[in-house]
Structure 1
Amino acid sequence: MQHLSGIERARNALENGGRLPVGSLPSVVADSWQRCRDLGLDPRAAPRNSVVPFSQVNQRREQNAALRRLALAEMQLLHSQIAGSNFMIALGDADGVVLDTISDQHFADSAAGRSIIPGSLWNEDLRGTNALGLAAMAHRPVAIYGREHYFSCHGHLSCMAAPILNSRGETLGLLDASCAFEARQEHTHALVRMAAAQIENGLIYQECSESFIFAFHPRVEYLDTLSAGLLSVSPDGSIISLNRPGTTLLAGLPAAIGSHFDDLFEAGFGSAMDGLLNGGVIRIRDRAGSGVFMVCRQIGQRGADAMAKPAPALPALLRRSNAPDFVCDDPIVKRSMTDIADAVTLRMPVHITGETGTGKDLMARHAHTLSGRKGQFVPVNCGAVPENLFIAEIFGHERGAFTNARDEGSPGLARTADKGTLFFDEVADIPLAAQTSLLRFLDSMEVRSVGGQKTLKVDVQIVSATNRNLQEMVATKAFRADLYYRLNAFTIRLPALKARSDFAGVVRHLMQAMAPDTAVTDAAIARLALHSWPGNIRELKTALQRALVRRRMDYLDEDSFEDINTGEKNVDDSCDSCRPHPLSRSKCREIRSIFQMSGENISKTARVLNLSRTTVYKHVR
């Protein structure tokens, strides 16, 4: 409570122009507030948004290609560790320009999420006190919680950022986690710092692939942790690279790039190499007299890509037709999920409607799971069964009951599903002649095989599905009305993919099933969301598989989906204002991209780009 009362006193002083109370804020926050005051920033106003052109974002990405590749893998892991917590993970370059984001959909759809986009600049003089800007300025990890942000509109956010440094202590990039909570997120802050350290170590392996790399630590059990020093050494013993823990462990010694191994450790380089190259752990003393354990992690003179992380092989899941479960954060789907358990408990027939590829089969299987039945889930593709064999396929037949009947007869799918679920997929294709028999079965749950005399009572849960309008078929007498009313005791309508509010969740779920180690950026999802997806989830899955097969890096960004038709016309053809207007065509494309990301909100687009609403309207009308 002391912290809360202190921050409240400080904010009252800040917003009313008073003197900040001593000791009420962490020093890094108090100093930042004062700098923002000196710049004349109004804490009660909206911060000035600044977004660099997308062409510059791509240039910055190319300049930081090695960093970006490693960082996106760590961002994917970090996102999976804190998923469901309304978070966004962002990668910035050394100047504080955001290059990529990976986020939960709720955060991405918020005002804060729409302001943290590729190209957005988070310097202190523009955005006030924020973790990304301070980490870039201070070259060390920073966390800003809630109302510690300078601008009051950011008071509901907590942001944690860590710089990614090279061996010379220079900032290469920034890793940030932001969440829509004021509470302190110490655990998340630790995860961000660990991820940054992992990227730094990865860069050493990647950039020093032809050198020897040694890990060292005073305690042998820490050699495989991020606390271990990592030392890259040339074949003649010169120091090429040293990570942050290594610099700390060798404090007071000439641990600089270009110095020699012998300047740091009492054992000569040749003597140490004899023990290290045998694959064992050696114990040596540094020049300050402290003992450390050391092990060789990489032998020099390897190919340039020796330690680079290979693109993960495509798992067998890519060849499966359905994912094992599905996303249901969309309100319509969620409401159906709430009711379906009660429906199957009451043994009500469940009817699922929706366009092709919306996940009707998955929902049917989920209904079976919710029923708790011990029997099988038995699907019937009604459109694939020949009309003259439909009754025999469902109810079975005796030996020799008809021409081409199986010699041993068949129990039928209804008996096979006893104590389980019988799923009529594409139920609209049931032949009219068979609909009477099916209706009789649904009323009595009794089965008599073709050519047989005995009836057998079965206990099955009935689920049906179709992408056609059964009501229209009833009106045209193509489907029996009494059968229709029997099947649709409880109806679930699955929305088309383009209409779902949880589109990003669906993309990430499919990626997790197909290639869990492959990051997919928010910009990639934003591009995918512009497509109409007539084939729905099935088409989306195919598009992701195609991008995974074609990818050259172990991540997917917006460039991975250039073959996706977003429905946007060419700028030259669709925007008359672009040709004569002083803004360049690339600027026009930038306005349109931000317009799409903002939910087609002209005011927000104008605010982000610091343009007039009239200018924005000319380019997006």
Structure 2
Amino acid sequence: MQILSGMDRARNALERGERLPGGTLPLPIAESWQRCRELGLDPHRRPRGEVVPFATVTRRRQKMEGLRRLALAEMQVLYAQIAGSNLMIALADAGGMVLDTISDQAFTESTAGRAIIPGSLWDEARRGTNALGLASDASQPVGVFGREHYFTCHAHLSCMAAPILDAHGQVLGLLDASCANEARQQHTHALVRMAAAQIENGLIFQECADNFILAFHPRAEYLDTLSAGLLALSRDGVVTALNRPGSALLSGLPAGADARFDTLFEMPFARALDGLLRGGVFPIRDAAGSQVLMVCRQIAPGLAVRNLHQEPQARPHDKGGSAPRFVCADAAVKAAMADIGQAVAMGMPIHLTGETGTGKELMARHIHEVSGRRGEFVAVNCGALAEQLFVAEIFGHEQGAFTNARTEGSIGLARQADGGTLFLDEIADIPLSAQTALLRFLDAREVRPVGGLKIHKVDVQIVSATNRNLEAMVAERAFRADLLYRLNGLVLHLPPLSARSDFALVVKHLLQELAPGVAITDAAIASLAQREWPGNIRELRSLLQRLLLRRQGAFIDETCLVEGAGDSGDTCPACRDRGLASRICREIRATYRVHRSVTHTARALGLSRTTVYKHLCGEPLN
């Protein structure tokens, strides 16, 4: 005697009009079947395939423009992640009206593909038990696998849908993946939930562009994942948005609309923000006493760090009294900065080393702020001064002191910096003939203008910088040893961008400076991190400016990283002239050229090896 499975017994009962046997179906599916029966739907018939006029779809798209921009980019990433054929990704509004789809040719030409089109309605009353309808009703992710669909004609499909919620828990839209029944159901379901969460986080960045956005989680390794809470706050600490993980982490606390940071956490908002804006991970306890780790993901634009609170300003030489205006979460950078306060208090010269574009002038300006000096910060590009003019520019000159001298004379840059900081950039390029004069100045801190007799005493903090090896230059007699010993009282080395552990924070910080409120995906940052960056932070800033021009939505994803994104050149034949698909394909092929490894390419882009193979199978990559 054949033993029927629970699903077999449930289907037999459904199709015969009998009472459904208990315990054979997941409860949400059983309840949906019962509702469909009560509506008089016949499981043997084809559902009512209602499609609204395209003008209605267009109006609905316009109302959901912000969400749709985010969702379309995420749908393409999701499509690339789910390997295999017979696949469709769909975006619907909160009521189950399909707005956009991305699918492969096999699914498009199937019966289901012809049914899931823009304007089609997928509420339960019309389509029976289906993932879009259930996710809309329950406001929860739902999977409907194979014969769990009410209508028999849908038994070959597995559909996974997740709602896209706003910061108050209201359904804004639905994301669905439909594929052949034999596809990896749980894997796909997890990816759909993650994609919906990514869109929700993107909406927070998009809609809270004038707010601070903080990420928090009890464990540091989860701060850059979708498990992290995102908390958007106005400048005075009022909660404007909180994502789903954040609501769960603050469960039991008054974290609703108009809540205040000070009621959710033990530390006052101004004090916490002051610590967060210094960079790195900041520990804090919530009002229930549980510790979480927090980082600042977005700074409210136009707000100076020094005006964040009303506490008295740090006195000159007060160690740590000035927060840096750049990211310094990298251990090497933090270690280099540890002694700045004491060094400037002693008037010690500080020498900065590092490759071109690593931020030496930013560090020099930070040293000036830490010093508390009221005088000017005066930067001198030593490599840009002609040899015969170097001494006159630095120390000044009297009227008519030499040919082509200014008619009115000049006090010189050293006196201009009196009471402040003199930053000698590209110090290795100082002519040998001028090094003696500079050495004498560093010893006595006295200036006598060219052609003058009067000596002027000056008080300056000396900061120098170079991207060259001065010790090697000393050995080659191209730089004076005694001058080097005067300059390198405290040596700070800035590592290259490619070696920094806080690369992601640097990217986000620069992006917020260039375009406050524009987010960047983790996949895009991972792709950027694979590059060499010979121009360091300066090169990264330039690239981010180009990406802002190239982006299609409200944030930058990895598809924006393709150089020449407007042409249809380097794609596999299947992706040619397919819009977003072709951009993904170009990025995969470009990344492969760098790594020459399918495994490394897949890891860099966050894709499966199968997906990478699929896009590399066209003409050989030379």
Aligned counterparts of 2:39 and 2:45: Cα–Cα separation in 1: 14
Alignment of 1:379-458 (within 5 A): none
Q: Is the 8 A contact 1:147 1:182 kept in 2?
A: no
Q: Is the 8 A contact 1:105 1:504 kept in 2?
A: no
Give the superposition deviation at 1:187.
0.4
String of CA shifts for 1:174-219, please: whole Å, max 9, x gaps: 0000002256610010000000000000000010011000001011
Equivalent residue for 1:294? 294
Could you tell me the TM-score, scaled by structure 1's length?
Answer: 0.52
Supply the AA of the counterpart residue of 1:247.
S
Could you tell me the TM-score, scaled by structure 2's length?
Answer: 0.52
Supply the AA of the counterpart residue of 2:229.
G
Aligned counterparts of 2:174 and 2:63: Cα–Cα separation in 1: 15
Supply the AA of the counterpart residue of 1:307.
V
SS in 2 for 1:246: helix
SS in 2 for 1:107: helix
Equivalent residue for 1:247? 247
Equivalent residue for 1:307? 518
Supply the AA of the counterpart residue of 2:148.
E
Q: In structure 2, do the counterparts of structure 1 residues 321 and 272 end up closer, same or farther at CA, with 3 Å as the change threshold?
A: closer
Q: Is the 8 A contact 1:317 1:513 kept in 2?
A: no
Equivalent residue for 1:63? 63
Aligned counterparts of 2:262 and 2:568: Cα–Cα separation in 1: 60
Aligned counterparts of 2:4 and 2:299: Cα–Cα separation in 1: 53
Aligned counterparts of 1:3 and 1:285: Cα–Cα separation in 2: 57
Aligned counterparts of 2:87 and 2:563: Cα–Cα separation in 1: 30
Aligned counterparts of 2:280 and 2:18: Cα–Cα separation in 1: 63
SS in 2 for 1:226: coil
SS in 1 for 2:297: strand
Give the superposition deviation at 1:283.
1.1
Q: Is the 8 A contact 2:568 2:582 kept in 1?
A: no
Aligned counterparts of 1:239 and 1:325: Cα–Cα separation in 2: 47
Aligned counterparts of 2:209 and 2:107: Cα–Cα separation in 1: 39
Equivalent residue for 1:135? 135
Give the superposition deviation at 1:5.
0.8
Any unmatched runs of 5+ in structure 1? 328-502, 518-621
Residue 326 (1) aligns with residue 537 (2): no
Aligned counterparts of 1:228 and 1:322: Cα–Cα separation in 2: 39
Residue 203 (1) aligns with residue 414 (2): no
Alignment of 1:354-365 (within 5 A): none
Aligned counterparts of 2:571 and 2:160: Cα–Cα separation in 1: 35
String of CA shifts for 1:264-292, please: whole Å, max 9, x gaps: 11111122112111112111111111111
Equivalent residue for 2:420? none
Give the superposition deviation at 1:306.
3.0
SS in 2 for 1:114: helix
Aligned counterparts of 1:236 and 1:180: Cα–Cα separation in 2: 51
Aligned counterparts of 1:299 and 1:283: Cα–Cα separation in 2: 18
Supply the AA of the counterpart residue of 1:82.
I
Supply the AA of the counterpart residue of 1:130.
N
Q: In structure 2, do the counterparts of structure 1 residues 275 and 323 end up closer, same or farther at CA, with 3 Å as the change threshold?
A: closer
Q: In structure 2, do the counterparts of structure 1 residues 255 and 82 end up closer, same or farther at CA, with 3 Å as the change threshold?
A: same
SS in 1 for 2:5: helix
Aligned counterparts of 1:245 and 1:306: Cα–Cα separation in 2: 21
Equivalent residue for 1:402? none
Alignment of 1:143-292 (within 5 A): 143-182=143-182, 185-292=185-292
Question: Number of aligned pairs?
Answer: 341
Aligned counterparts of 1:166 and 1:109: Cα–Cα separation in 2: 34
Larger deviation, residues 314-323 vs 285-294: 314-323
String of CA shifts for 1:6-48, please: whole Å, max 9, x gaps: 1110000000011111000000100000000000100111001
SS in 1 for 2:164: strand
Q: In structure 2, do the counterparts of structure 1 residues 265 and 78 end up closer, same or farther at CA, with 3 Å as the change threshold?
A: same
String of CA shifts for 1:212-246, please: whole Å, max 9, x gaps: 00001011111111000000011111000000000
String of CA shifts for 1:378-421, please: whole Å, max 9, x gaps: xxxxxxxxxxxxxxxxxxxxxxxxxxxxxxxxxxxxxxxxxxxx
Q: Is the 8 A contact 1:314 1:514 kept in 2?
A: no
Give the superposition deviation at 1:323.
3.6
Supply the AA of the counterpart residue of 1:296.
C
Q: In structure 2, do the counterparts of structure 1 residues 140 and 319 end up closer, same or farther at CA, with 3 Å as the change threshold?
A: closer
Give the superposition deviation at 1:70.
0.4
User: Percent identity between the aligned chains?
Assistant: 62
Supply the AA of the counterpart residue of 2:300.
G
Q: Is the 8 A contact 1:326 1:509 kept in 2?
A: no
Aligned counterparts of 1:13 and 1:161: Cα–Cα separation in 2: 27
SS in 1 for 2:178: strand
Q: In structure 2, do the counterparts of structure 1 residues 261 and 4 end up closer, same or farther at CA, with 3 Å as the change threshold?
A: farther
Q: In structure 2, do the counterparts of structure 1 residues 292 and 109 end up closer, same or farther at CA, with 3 Å as the change threshold?
A: same
String of CA shifts for 1:531-552, please: whole Å, max 9, x gaps: xxxxxxxxxxxxxxxxxxxxxx
String of CA shifts for 1:307-338, please: whole Å, max 9, x gaps: 156434584456988546534xxxxxxxxxxx
Aligned counterparts of 2:27 and 2:115: Cα–Cα separation in 1: 27
SS in 2 for 1:79: helix
Aligned counterparts of 1:130 and 1:85: Cα–Cα separation in 2: 21
SS in 1 for 2:43: coil
Give the superposition deviation at 1:84.
3.2
Q: In structure 2, do the counterparts of structure 1 residues 511 and 270 end up closer, same or farther at CA, with 3 Å as the change threshold?
A: closer
Supply the AA of the counterpart residue of 1:306.
G
Q: Is the 8 A contact 1:146 1:155 kept in 2?
A: yes
Q: In structure 2, do the counterparts of structure 1 residues 271 and 315 end up closer, same or farther at CA, with 3 Å as the change threshold?
A: closer
Q: In structure 2, do the counterparts of structure 1 residues 249 and 14 end up closer, same or farther at CA, with 3 Å as the change threshold?
A: same
SS in 2 for 1:162: strand
Q: In structure 2, do the counterparts of structure 1 residues 283 and 315 end up closer, same or farther at CA, with 3 Å as the change threshold?
A: closer
Give the superposition deviation at 1:512.
3.9
Give the superposition deviation at 1:120.
0.4
Supply the AA of the counterpart residue of 1:326.
P
Equivalent residue for 2:13? 13
Give the superposition deviation at 1:514.
4.6
Supply the AA of the counterpart residue of 1:38.
E
Q: In structure 2, do the counterparts of structure 1 residues 231 and 64 end up closer, same or farther at CA, with 3 Å as the change threshold?
A: same
Root-mean-square deviation (CA), in Å? 2.5
Give the superposition deviation at 1:85.
2.8
String of CA shifts for 1:548-596, please: whole Å, max 9, x gaps: xxxxxxxxxxxxxxxxxxxxxxxxxxxxxxxxxxxxxxxxxxxxxxxxx
Equivalent residue for 1:45? 45
Equivalent residue for 1:100? 100
Supply the AA of the counterpart residue of 2:518.
M
Aligned counterparts of 2:58 and 2:272: Cα–Cα separation in 1: 45
Q: Is the 8 A contact 1:146 1:183 kept in 2?
A: no
SS in 1 for 2:190: helix
Q: Is the 8 A contact 1:145 1:184 kept in 2?
A: no
Q: In structure 2, do the counterparts of structure 1 residues 45 and 206 end up closer, same or farther at CA, with 3 Å as the change threshold?
A: same
Q: In structure 2, do the counterparts of structure 1 residues 167 and 11 end up closer, same or farther at CA, with 3 Å as the change threshold?
A: same
Q: Which has the higher contact order (CA 8 A, sep 6+)?
A: 1
Q: Is the 8 A contact 1:145 1:182 kept in 2?
A: no
Alignment of 1:531-550 (within 5 A): none
Q: Is the 8 A contact 1:275 1:282 kept in 2?
A: yes
SS in 1 for 2:573: coil
Aligned counterparts of 1:306 and 1:326: Cα–Cα separation in 2: 37
Q: Is the 8 A contact 2:562 2:583 kept in 1?
A: no
Equivalent residue for 1:415? none
Aligned counterparts of 2:79 and 2:232: Cα–Cα separation in 1: 30
Aligned counterparts of 1:142 and 1:288: Cα–Cα separation in 2: 32
